[in-house]
């Protein structure tokens, strides 16, 4: 760095330290703007990461198929109300579509379960054994039921962590215990590892899994045997998902004998679709953040411009002297630009520190996850530099255009 | 001795609203290297305008000004800045030191605008301060210095670039008699060391330090004569 720039930076810092109050107030706009952006982006990134983790808990490359709505005398019911999907649909899909690595199904009802003198109302899920692998459930203790449990409609149950917390004493081993669902005794053979909240915010661990056959024959009292609540499928590769969805629609439409003009009597969604909804939300958030950032940086920049204009006026004589001893226009421009950038960079640096502290505090106090990305820090840094440069240009240019004779005579 | 300053028929015309003011009316002047010249005149005579033109802070409307053989009236602002930086040292009535900045850094200022290492700049600034007898006060701020000392800092600042021309505009106007004497002695000494000094003043006893006295009136040279006695008698 040339001696001139170095000296100018030192001079700028000295001038700022002499007018600490003024410099501080001037920087405040930038400090607040940058701090707000850093904190908000960190919180946003943390939330995004958490949502992604939640979506990942659904399983890997999962496709979910719900039955369509019922129509009674022209009144359409809620989605999933119809009983158009069946176990044979699921089996047929697996047979006909090689892209699908597996299909599974489930049907659920909210019921009371009892262990000794405690009870709890929760969703009882009758599932195919494949459901557990598709949805990536793992076990804290015990293990899954098997196809033979399915065939014999065995009275065995898998409990989610929330169920264990509510029906068992701490430290009590649930595996091997007998609980009752709708007065039917079930032997607990496995406890599922906790998954936490779903992307929609529901507690994924508040579940009981029992074999599908047991559920429809011994617990739910289903009218049409083989009708299912939801169907699940998975592919080996993420990029196969759209193609798999297309093929599923074709097969199901054919099986359900739908005419071309009829709409689907089912809904197919992939994990990717669900992720996209969340992405859209976070994009809206990002746009909002950037508008807030722009406004506060604009305000901060105007503050810097204002104080520099004051400074140019106050130091008119100094500018005259500098010109008299040989400063060229560009030297004067540089001097004031460097002062502006020193201000804005200091403000930016303070803002970055404040923003990081704010994000950490949010994690500590509110318990929200935050991720401080180095990207946003670098961007904030260059943004504050740019603000200094942009808003310093006018005062610097004004200073450099002073007539040295008049500047020297300025009182 | 070669010619340092040559002015030929210099006009300076200002426009204030609709009125044209002729600050200089075809002034011609020649100053040799090593001279000690006092320019005198009442306010409004045009001596300040002449000073600004000689100092390359301003350019004549008409006429020619050669400094060290260079036609200054044809130069662009950046070239003028270079000339001011390399050939001219200014001393002002109100010292014009930069506030809250040490004496050393004030002296260093002209070197800011040159590609010199910081170390070299400091060494030369210290040397210039020594020449005006202010060694040991490098880190004093102007508020900690007397008027005479401040003016000496200003002279050191003018000297640091080894200029061929020192322009002093009423250098003793804000000083008491004792300090004025000290400042004039320094200027006299510098002149004896070879620097051309041009002094603008309206005080006859200050002008008497010079060896040539030019009277300006209505933008023209009224009289131009050598002053003989005083400088020799007071000089040493």
- Strand, coil or helix: what is B67? strand
Mean pLDDT of all residues belonging to chain A: 87
Residues B211, B215, B220, B221, CA torsion sign: negative
Residue A407 has pLDDT above 80, yes or no: yes
CA-CA distance, A383 to A386, in Å (whole number)? 5
- pLDDT band, very low/low/confident/very high, at A338 (cuts 50, 70, 90): very high
Run of H or E residues at A332 = helix A329-366
Residue A312 has pLDDT above 70, yes or no: yes
Res B1: pLDDT: 61
Task: Give yes or no for A401 touching B (CB within 8 A).
Answer: no
Q: And the tokens for A107?
A: 């049907």
Res B231: pLDDT: 46
Residues A216, A219, A223, A229, CA torsion sign: negative
Give helix A329-366 / helix A374-400 axis angle, nearest 10°.
Answer: 150
Res B38: pLDDT: 95
B57, B112, B114: residue with CB nearest A405: B57
Please say whether the beta carbons of B191 and B36 come within 8 A: yes
CA nearest to B86 within chain A: A326
Res A198: pLDDT: 75
Residue A55 has pLDDT above 60, yes or no: yes
The pTM of the full predicted model, rounded to 2 decimals, is 0.74
CA-CA distance, A348 to A358, in Å (whole number)? 15
Q: What does the DSSP 8-state code read for residue A197?
A: B
Please say whether the beta carbons of A146 and A123 come within 8 A: no
Pairwise pLDDT comparison (A377 vs A3), residue with the higher score? A377
pLDDT (mean) for B143-152: 93
A18, A326, A405: residue with CB nearest B113: A326
Inter-chain touch A405–B81, beta carbons under 8 Å: no
B134 to chain A, closest Cα gap in Å: 21
Inter-chain touch A3–B58, beta carbons under 8 Å: no
pLDDT (mean) for A213-225: 82
pLDDT for A296-307, tens place per residue? Answer: 888 889 999 999
Mean pLDDT of all residues belonging to chain B: 91
Which of A1, A3, A327 to probe the B interface (max B CBs under 10 A)? A3
Please say whether the beta carbons of A220 and A153 come within 8 A: no
Residue A378 has pLDDT above 80, yes or no: yes
- pLDDT band, very low/low/confident/very high, at B122 (cuts 50, 70, 90): very high
- pLDDT band, very low/low/confident/very high, at B188 (cuts 50, 70, 90): very high
CA-CA distance, A233 to A254, in Å (whole number)? 18
Res B99: pLDDT: 86
pLDDT for A92-141, tens place per residue? Answer: 888 889 888 889 999 888 889 998 888 899 989 999 989 988 888 889 88
Residue B213 has pLDDT above 80, yes or no: yes
ipTM over 0.95: no
Per cent of chain A over pLDDT 70 is 95
CA-CA distance, B44 to B219, in Å (whole number)? 9
pLDDT (mean) for A371-382: 89
Task: Give yes or no for B98 touching A (CB within 8 A).
Answer: yes
Beta-carbon contacts of A284 under 8 Å, excluding residues fewer than 6 positions away, are none
- pLDDT band, very low/low/confident/very high, at A75 (cuts 50, 70, 90): low
Pairwise pLDDT comparison (A292 vs B13), residue with the higher score? B13
Task: Give yes or no for B109 touching A (CB within 8 A).
Answer: yes
- pLDDT band, very low/low/confident/very high, at B221 (cuts 50, 70, 90): very high
Sheet of B36-40: strand order equals B88-91, B165-169, B196-201, B36-40, B212-217, B220-226
pLDDT (mean) for A171-187: 90
CA-CA distance, A47 to A160, in Å (whole number)? 25
Residue B235 has pLDDT above 50, yes or no: no
Bridge partners (DSSP) listed for residue A227: A86
Please say whether the beta carbons of B186 and B13 come within 8 A: no
A3, A7, A325: residue with CB nearest B84: A325
pLDDT for A252-289, tens place per residue? Answer: 888 888 888 888 888 888 887 877 777 777 778 778 87
CA-CA distance, A341 to A327, in Å (whole number)? 20
Please say whether the beta carbons of A38 and A359 come within 8 A: yes
pLDDT for B16-32, tens place per residue? Answer: 888 888 999 999 999 99
Task: Give yes or no for A385 touching B (CB within 8 A).
Answer: no
The DSSP secondary structure of A112-138, one letter per residue, reads EEEETTEEEEEEEEEE-HHHHHHTT--
Res B236: pLDDT: 39
Which of B48, B57, B80 to probe the A interface (max A CBs under 10 A)? B57
- pLDDT band, very low/low/confident/very high, at B167 (cuts 50, 70, 90): very high
Q: Which residues of B touch A317 (CB under 8 A)?
A: 96
Residue A79 has pLDDT above 60, yes or no: no
Q: How far apart are the first and last CA of chain A?
A: 35
CA-CA distance, A393 to A110, in Å (whole number)? 68
Give the strand pairing for B70-71 and B62-67.
Answer: antiparallel
- Spell out the alpha helix ranges (H) of chain B: 47-54, 77-87, 103-112, 118-131, 147-159, 177-192, 204-207, 229-235
């Amino acid at each position: 760095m040339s001696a001139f720039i170095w000296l100018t930076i030192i001079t700028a810092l000295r001038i700022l330290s002499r007018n600490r109050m003024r410099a501080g107030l001037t920087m405040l706009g930038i400090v607040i703007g940058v701090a707000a952006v850093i904190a908000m982006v960190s919180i946003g990134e943390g939330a995004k990461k958490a949502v992604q983790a939640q979506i990942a808990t659904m399983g890997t490359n999962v496709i979910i198929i719900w039955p369509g709505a019922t129509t009674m005398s022209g009144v359409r019911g809620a989605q999933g109300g119809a009983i158009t999907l069946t176990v044979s649909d699921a089996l047929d899909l697996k047979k006909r579509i090689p892209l699908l690595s597996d299909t599974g199904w489930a049907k659920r009802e909210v019921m009371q379960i009892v262990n000794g003198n405690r009870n709890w109302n929760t969703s009882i899920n009758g599932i195919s054994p494949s459901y557990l692998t598709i949805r990536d459930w793992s076990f804290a203790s015990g293990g899954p039921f098997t196809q033979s449990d399915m065939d014999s409609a065995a009275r065995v149950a898998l409990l989610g962590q929330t169920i264990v917390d509510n029906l068992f004493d701490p430290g009590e081993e649930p595996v091997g215990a007998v609980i009752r669902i709708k007065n039917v005794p079930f032997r607990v053979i496995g406890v599922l590892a906790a998954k936490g909240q779903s992307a929609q915010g529901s507690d994924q661990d508040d579940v009981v899994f029992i074999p599908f056959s047991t559920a429809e024959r011994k617990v739910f009292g289903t009218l049409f045997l083989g009708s299912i609540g939801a169907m699940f499928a998975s592919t080996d590769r993420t990029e196969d998902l759209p193609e798999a969805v297309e093929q599923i629609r074709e097969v199901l439409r054919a099986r359900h004998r739908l005419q071309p003009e009829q709409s689907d009597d089912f809904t197919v969604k992939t994990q990717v679709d669900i992720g996209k909804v969340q992405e859209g939300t976070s994009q809206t958030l990002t746009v909002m953040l950037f508008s807030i950032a722009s406004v506060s940086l604009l305000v901060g920049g105007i503050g810097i411009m204002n104080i520099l204009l004051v400074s140019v006026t106050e130091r008119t004589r100094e500018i005259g002297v500098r010109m008299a001893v040989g400063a060229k226009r560009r030297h004067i421009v540089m001097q004031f630009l460097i002062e502006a950038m020193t201000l804005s960079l200091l403000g930016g640096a303070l803002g970055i520190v404040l923003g990081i502290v704010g994000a950490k505090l949010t994690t500590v106090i509110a318990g929200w996850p935050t991720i401080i990305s180095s990207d946003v820090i670098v961007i904030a840094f260059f943004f504050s530099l740019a603000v200094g440069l942009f808003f310093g240009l006018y005062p610097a240019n004004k200073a450099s255009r002073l007539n040295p004779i008049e500047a020297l005579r300025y009182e | 001795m070669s010619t340092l300053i040559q002015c030929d028929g210099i006009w300076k015309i200002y426009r204030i609203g609709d009125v044209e003011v002729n600050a200089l009316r075809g002034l011609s002047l020649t100053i040799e290297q090593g001279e000690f010249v006092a320019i005198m005149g009442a306010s409004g005579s045009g001596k300040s305008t002449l000073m600004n033109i000689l100092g390359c802070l301003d350019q004549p409307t008409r006429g020619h000004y050669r400094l060290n053989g260079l036609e200054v009236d044809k130069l662009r602002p950046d070239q003028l800045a270079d000339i001011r930086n390399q050939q001219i040292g200014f001393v002002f009535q109100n010292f014009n030191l930069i506030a809250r900045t040490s004496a050393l850094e004030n002296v260093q200022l002209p070197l800011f605008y040159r590609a010199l290492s910081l170390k070299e700049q400091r060494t030369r600034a210290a040397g210039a301060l020594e020449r005006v007898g202010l060694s040991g006060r490098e880190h004093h701020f102007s508020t900690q210095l007397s008027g005479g000392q401040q003016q000496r800092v200003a002279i050191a600042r003018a000297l640091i670039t080894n200029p061929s021309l020192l322009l002093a505009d009423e250098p003793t106007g804000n000083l008491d008699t004792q300090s004025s004497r000290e400042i004039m002695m320094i200027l006299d000494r510098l002149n004896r060391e070879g620097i051309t000094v041009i002094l603008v003043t309206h005080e006859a006893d200050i002008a008497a330090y010079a060896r040539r006295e030019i009277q300006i009136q209505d933008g023209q040279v009224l009289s131009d004569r050598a002053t003989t006695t005083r400088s020799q008698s007071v000089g040493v």
